[in-house]
Structure 1
Amino acid sequence: MVEQTIKARRIPDYLYPRRGSAVMFKNRFLESLTKTHPLTPLIVYLPVVIYFIAYSSYKLNFKTLAIFVLFLTGAFSWTLAEYLLHRFVFHFEPKTPIGLKIQFMIHGVHHQYPRDPKRLVMPPVVSLTLAVLFWYLFRYSLGIYAFAFFPGFVAGYIAYDMTHYAIHHFKPPKNKLRTLWKHHLKHHYQAPDRSFGVSTPLWDYIFRTI
């Protein structure tokens, strides 16, 4: 088992894995916002993907090839955003007690309790905020092309969340996808300062954090 692997380097206490589930808020409502059913990303964001593709085709009259290329570019761009967010936002190094609390709320809770099934996909309150920010970023930088680019980006996010849940919830498959399991579990149980990619290890190879 990966959990039993002798660690290559010391894991900080606030990232050290353990069993069980954390209570993040005493308030029941706030606590409920930190827990998410694994199908939530599909339910919330698949209609968004369909709407933007339909809008690009029927309202903006984009050619099928143009939509396809922009969609794939958006999905590929998500993998870079995923890597950068995970490495520099989720894994910022806290220097103060307040920083530790913030880091725990953002991502430390997942590292401490990596098998908590209700905290394996991003809560909608967080993902929707990020989605709105990214949408306006793409809308103002890409113009109308954002309508075909954004659904690809969102589809990449859906694939990321589903992959992340599968890695923590199911046994590694006996095919090439097994590499994703090894890569991400290495991040949790051996080297939390490396292997930041979840849906692909590509950017870890490029930025030498493999």
Structure 2
Amino acid sequence: MAASNRWLMSSLAYYLDFFTAPLFAAVALCIAPVHVGQMLAGLLTWTLLEYAVHRFLFHARYRQEHWTHHVDVRAYIGVSSWKTSSAYAVLLLLAWLAGLTSAFAGVVMGYFYYISVHYVMHRPDHWAYRFITGLIANHELHHRKGIEKNFGVSSPLWDHVFRTYLNAQAPRANGEQA
């Protein structure tokens, strides 16, 4: 499958989410009372969204664009921060009107954790790399050609629920380690 340049972006558009996501979460927590249960529900919601988007959009509808990331894991590929920030601005307003700002903050903090973990897992020289070796092993297996498993980047939870988890350490049929 040929790689696509459609999702390539500037370094600014790539890194801006590392600033805007925490900012949106902080604003959400400042404009209304904090509800820990809502935040946890928002975080759990993010993990399901991450799994579903990765499995059903990136590996189906946008397969060619996403494959570019599989080919060059350090390229500035993804959804532009300008788009995510615009979506978060609208969602923050809706969450505020619905009394769900803490849930919104949980979703955005989950997204921030996801982009941070994903960034680190493709950079072995990063100081935090050694702390996420299990997630890295799952994700490296996911990047192997022909393996449509391990869609959860920041958590394998939904891979277990939907039976798409493949243990990176499990022996294969021929006795080799994965």
Contact 2:20–2:85 (8 Å) recurs in 1:
no
Deviation at 1:143, TM superposition (A): 5.8
Q: Tell me which residue corresponds to 2:26.
A: 50
SS in 1 for 2:60: coil
Q: Tell me which residue corresponds to 1:82.
A: 50
TM-score (norm 1): 0.65
Match for residue 104 of structure 1 among 64, 80, 95: 64
SS in 2 for 1:91: helix
The code of the aligned residue for 1:44 comes to T
How many residues align? The count is 161
Query: Identical aligned pairs, as a percentage?
Result: 25
Matches within 5 A, 1:46-195: 46-57=22-33, 64=34, 67-92=35-60, 103-105=63-65, 107-116=66-75, 118-119=76-77, 122-128=79-85, 130-131=87-88, 135=91, 139=95, 144-170=98-124, 172-173=129-130, 177-195=132-150
Contact 1:164–1:199 (8 Å) recurs in 2:
yes
Contact 1:122–1:161 (8 Å) recurs in 2:
no
Matches within 5 A, 1:4-23: 13-14=1-2
Q: Give the superposed CA RMSD.
A: 2.9
Displacement over 6 Å in runs of 4+: none
C-alpha distance in structure 1 between counterparts of 2:50 and 2:102, whole Å:
19
Q: Which has the higher contact order (CA 8 A, sep 6+)?
A: 1
